Amino acid sequence: MGHLNISFARQMARLRRIAAHPRRYLRLTPKIALQRATRLFAATSFRLEPQMDIHPLSLWHDPAFTGQFGGFNLPGEPPRTIVDLQPWDTVRRDMLVLLLRDVIERRVPGDIAELGVYKGLTAKLIHHYAPERTLHLYDTFQGFDTRDVVREAAVRGRKPAQNQFSDTTPEAVLRYINPKAGVHVHPGVFPESVPESEHDLRYCFVHLDADLYAPIMAGLDYFYPRMERAAFIVVHDFNAWPGARRAVMEFFAGKPEIPVPMPDHSGSAVIRRA
Ligand SMILES: C[S@@+](CC[C@H](N)C(=O)[O-])C[C@H]1O[C@@H](n2cnc3c(N)ncnc32)[C@H](O)[C@@H]1O
């Protein structure tokens, strides 16, 4: 009964507020109507509002907030280029941009690397958002290595299809990225493909997207000791490919960093170097 009384009292207070300020509460602009309509889709996987509030096209965009803090950009700087990834994964695009923005804003020194490039979708986003940082791209450009596939079968109990990701070349990737400068492509099986001349490089941001246990573990082994403090490692497919997830969990067991699961389409894990 007490509960009902509180609820009734709240409803009455609400009605009194509406009666006192009818223009504020009963106003139905197209923007407000659309905002309310999104509730109709709350229990489905359809979304009327796929953009973050800091996106200028968001229904909830507040120019005063982005004016002060920069939104996807750094305050006081000209806007950076943001290249779309897959249209259904705006969460991943925004996550990568905000992590890059953070290392730039904190002036974390070092280069950027991606292991698992395929046709260069993510590499293009990374390069055009942060063109001032050298980007190192590692891929076989011929799909998975047989040794990694055999290892994967042992890790997850069945072999992944090997005829994936071979329809690409370093040249096609470079044409697609259309870099301003500073993009180095290293074809071959990682980690054998890392030139000795690069062993002393330090990194502010590394994206590991090689799907399988063996290359993800090799990427963590190689890059982790070369990451600057506050640098990010992002491992894609943490909630999609069992080998990738297992490599992350095993590698960080006993390390000071704890992988943070992200809600992008295939579920990345984000690790900030302590
Ligand atoms: C899912 S795709 C990468 C997708 C890409 N990041 C994008 O944005 O579209 C995985 C890639 O990892 C690469 N890869 C897997 N194991 C590798 C290894 N040991 N060395 C180099 N590349 C590897 C494959 O060739 C494939 O192109």
Domain of residue 203, CATH code: 3.40.50.150
pLDDT value for 35: 75
Q: Give the residue, 106 or 40, on which the prediction is more confident.
A: 106
The answer on 109 and 207 residing in a single domain is yes
User: 22-58: per-residue pLDDT in tens?
Assistant: 877 777 888 778 777 877 877 776 666 678 999 998 8
The answer on 136 and 65 residing in a single domain is no
Which domain does 62 fall in, by range? 49-79
> Residue 1's pLDDT band (boundaries 50, 70, 90)?
very low
Question: Which residue minimizes the CA distance to atom 22 of ligand 1?
Answer: 139
Q: Is there an atom of ligand 1 within 6 Å of 210 CB?
A: yes
Of residues 240, 168, 187, the one with CA closest to residue 209: 240
User: 155-168: per-residue pLDDT in tens?
Assistant: 888 888 888 999 99
Note whether residue 44 is domain-resident: no
* Distance, CA of 247 to chain centre: 19
The answer on 65 and 137 residing in a single domain is no
- Separation of 169 CA from ligand 1 center, angstroms? 12
Q: Is there an atom of ligand 1 within 6 Å of 140 CB?
A: yes
User: 76-88: per-residue pLDDT in tens?
Assistant: 999 999 999 988 8
Question: Which residue minimizes the CA distance to atom 24 of ligand 1?
Answer: 143
Note whether residue 53 is domain-resident: yes
User: 254-265: per-residue pLDDT in tens?
Assistant: 999 999 999 999
Whether the predicted pLDDT of 118 surpasses 90: yes
- Provide the number of structural domains found in the chain: 3
By three-state DSSP, how is residue 7 classified?
A: helix
Cα distance between residue 72 and residue 173, in whole Å: 25
Cα distance between residue 127 and residue 135, in whole Å: 7
Q: Is there an atom of ligand 1 within 6 Å of 165 CB?
A: yes
The answer on 142 and 201 residing in a single domain is yes
Eight-state DSSP code of residue 51: S
Q: Is there an atom of ligand 1 within 6 Å of 144 CB?
A: yes
Work out the average pLDDT over 52-73: 93
The answer on 19 and 106 residing in a single domain is no
